[in-house]
Amino acid sequence: MAQTTAKGKEDPSGQEGESQNPLENPENKQRYELAKDFAFHLAKGIKNIGIYRHAKDKYAEILSRCYAAACAYCERWGALPLKVEAECFSMFKQPVFAAEDKAENLPYKFYKDGIRHLAFRQGLQIEELVEFVLIGLTDTRRGDPDILSQMWERGFEHIEYMVVEGFSVEDMSEAQVKLEVDKIVSYLYQRLRSDSADYLRFARVSVEDLEMQVDGIDQVRGAIIAGVAASDRLVRQVLDTLAEDVGVRLFPKLVAAVFQVIDEGAVEDVEMLKEIFLQMLDSMLLQEDFASINSLMVKFRAMERDQSKAALAQDLRAFFVAKMGEEQRIRRIGEVLNTSKPKQPQDIFRYLYALDSKAIPFLLEVLEGLELQDNRQILCDALAALGKDSPAPFAKLLGSEKSQLVRDMIYVIDKCDFPDKVNYFGETLTNPNLAVRLEALSILSRSKSEQCRRFIVTALDDPNLQMRVQAARVLPNMSPAKAFVDLLALTRSASFEKRDLQEKLGVYHALGSTQQQDALSLFTQLSGQKSLLRRGKIKEEKLLAISGLSAMPSIPAYKALQALTEDRSNDAEVVMAARKALFTMKKSLFGDQPEAPVPSGNKAER
């Protein structure tokens, strides 16, 4: 690793030696163009690695052109120096690598950590370049270490960087700068020394701050302080950086510091450590920083792999998980989920997934008052993960009057796949809420078991018409032969005659869906009736037969419908219904092509 610490003015790395434009020098122009070629391939490589992050074995291939450009420069001039600025890498005061995406400003990542110069030396290895790019792609907002720490840990042999740790003021020597800094420190020290209980007094601006000590002047009147105001862009950038430091980077750095202290053995008081982690947990919950909480859990598990610290890590993790699942903290999560859709819902799910089953009652209370459907899904998935051992907490709520809550419990029980889950679904078929009963019916219909089929048969006598029709519609999907028997028995019951025509049509359509030969015979018999008596009854039965025939596309059914359209004795409504069913079946059997001739019987039939 090569690291240079600068105190005073920054070293220009040979970029500012010319009095005029340095690029007027042909050699400088060549160096600049080669550096731009390197930067172009570097930007392209960073983008491709960001897209194909999973293909680690291809990183070197992706950066091969960038590496070749760096080697070409180093072979000719020995080193490739770049000045690090807030928005670009530059050479000879000209940008060679400018940030296109403000959200992923690579130069700024190095700049904010104090790195002001980079140099790629001759002998650079492709592995070093890959490591450098991966460091640039890290995201401190997600808990990754800062750039400077990673550069120091890697210990690059052929990549140097200069870090600015001091102050430099134009037209002032280092001694003068040190004197001014000492004055500032002394002033702050005096402000901090106070008997007042106001411990933030030193940070406030007061009239005393405007006192001036100027040699040879007794009083200042009408003083005007002039200077160059910061631009709005710079102000926004500083505010964003401060907000990011407080809201994003603070907790990861704090977590890393605490675990470093534990690793060094500097703290042996377990109770004090527990109190520290508890305070961190509450602070992170207030900031809605679930990612940092999850990173704590990862660090606990990593520490458990160390035999010397395994017992301590297990104790701390058990304590931390127990506190995570306490009622007031679960309610805090409920407040977050009730406010808006989280940007990183998977972080909240990972938090809830880490809890134990003792937190289930609190999660159910939060779920009951939650209104946002997407956020309810997060809780339901977490409940399904935590409640695999016992269905009791969820079964109690199946009789709730809140339909959405019951539907959520059905989802959880179904996802947990309890052995007797069918019995719970069967119980919901008696729920007073129609939406709940329909949801249970839909889940039962996905099973092929006889127990589920019997539950659906009971729904044929449900008080609601929609429920009865839906039950008849799904029965053929489970067992066509048994469905035919059950539906035929329904059509011959005394109560069926009193039902609405639309319901009867639905039941006969379900009969046709069984594709049973007996059903075809029944429909053919009904459609061929002729009598001057009972005309209304015969008309209804023919309409029912048409409904059944339309559900079983086949040549015999097609011929039966065709016969109905050609029989002039049929009522106009019957003929229209038969033509409509015939047209639909024709498209099903023959597509959009012209109708193929239907095979008929012997000449006598023709």
Q: What are phi and psi of 494, to 5 degrees?
A: -65, -35
Q: The tokens of 5 are what?
A: 């610490």
**Tokens of residue 137, six digits:** 């792609």
Q: Which two tokens stand for residue 226?
A: 């002039």
Q: What letter does residue 246 receive in the DSSP assignment?
A: I
The mean pLDDT value for 471-486 works out to 90
Q: In terms of Cα–Cα distance, which of 530, 532, 512 is closest to 522?
A: 512
Q: What's the pLDDT band for 244 if we cut at 50, 70, 90?
A: low
Reading the block at residue 322, the tokens are 């127990």
Of 86, 75, 80, 92, nearest to 28 (Cα)? 92
Tell me what the mean pLDDT of segment 61-69 comes to: 87
Over residues 336-368, the pLDDT tens digits come to: 998 888 888 899 999 999 998 899 999 999 998
Looking at per-residue pLDDT, the higher value among 249 and 147 belongs to: 147
User: Residues with Cβ < 8 Å from 406, sequence gap 6 or more?
Assistant: 397, 398, 399, 400, 428, 431, 433, 436, 439
Please, what is the Cα angle at 353 between 347 and 355, to 5 degrees? Answer: 120
User: Quick one: 182 exposed, middle or buried, by C-beta within 10 A (0-12, 13-18, 19+)?
Assistant: exposed
Please report the pLDDT score of residue 40 as a whole number: 85
The per-residue pLDDT for range 152-196, each reduced to its tens digit, is: 877 888 888 877 665 555 566 666 656 665 666 555 555 555 555
Q: Is 221 helix (H, G, I), strand (E, B) or coil?
A: coil
Q: What is the pLDDT of residue 1?
A: 45
H/E stretch holding 83 reads: strand 79-84
Q: What's the 3-state SS for 17-35?
A: CCCCCHHHCHHHHHHHHHH
Helix (H) or strand (E) segment spanning residue 3: strand 2-6
Confidence at residue 482, expressed as pLDDT on a 0 to 100 scale: 92
| CB neighbour class for 246 (10 Å; exposed up to 12, middle 13-18, buried from 19) | exposed
> Please, are residues 97 and 124 in contact by the beta-carbon 8 Å criterion?
no
Task: Tell which residue, 81, 148, 156, has the closest CA to residue 115.
Answer: 148
B/e letters for 571-580, b = 16+ CB within 10 Å, e = fewer, are eeebbebbee
**Which of 299, 308, 305, 314 lies closest to 258 in space, CA to CA?**
299
Return the pLDDT at 594: 47
Give the pLDDT mean for 402-407: 84
Quote the CA–CA distance of 300 and 304 in Å, as a whole number. Answer: 6
For residue 319, name the pLDDT band (cuts at 50, 70, 90): very high
Nearest to residue 474, comparing CAs of 514, 523, 414?
Answer: 514
Q: Sorting pLDDT into bands at 50, 70 and 90, what band is 5?
A: very low
Q: How many CB atoms lie within 10 A of CB 80?
A: 26
Mean pLDDT for 217-228 is 49
Find out whether 405 and 375 touch, Cβ atoms under 8 Å: no
Helix or strand run (H / E) with residue 82: strand 79-84
AA identity, residue 549: L
Instruction: Decide if pLDDT at 549 tops 70.
Output: yes
Report d(CA 565, CA 580) in Å as an integer.
Answer: 10
- Amino acid in the structure at residue 192: L
Strand partners, 528: none
DSSP state, residue 353:
H
